[in-house]
Amino acid sequence: MAAAAAVVEAAQQVHAEAVAAHDRSLHQADQLAELGPQLSSRLDDLAPLTARAPRRASSPTWPPARVPTRCGLTLSAFVLAARLEEVAAAAPSGC
């Protein structure tokens, strides 16, 4: 009888965890549904900037990627370092 009770208790725990995971996924789905239209609107706002971007990049005043910045890094290395800092900041603290 004790073995059956242990099996039932384990099944109840698994069920409770599954229900909690389901609730979290529903919450995330709701959040994503709200963010979708916002993203679309923001992308529409960026369309004029995107259209002008190729002209800016080909401008003779645009610095080439090999010119060192004030920190002694090339532009591409500086951008990579900034992105890595963002990834590190977003990572869970236990990693």
Task: Record the tokens describing residue 19, joined without a space.
Answer: 């229900």
User: pTM of the prediction?
Assistant: 0.42
Q: Which residues of 19-57 are buried (b: 16+ CB within 10 A; e: fewer)?
A: eeeeeeeeeeeeeeeeeeeeeeeeeeeeeeeeeeeeeee
pLDDT, tens digit (0-9, with 9 covering 90-100), for 29-82: 999 898 888 888 888 888 888 777 766 555 555 555 565 666 677 777 778 888
**Are the C-beta atoms of 76 and 65 separated by less than 8 Å?**
yes
Q: Where are the domains of the chain?
A: 1-58, 63-95
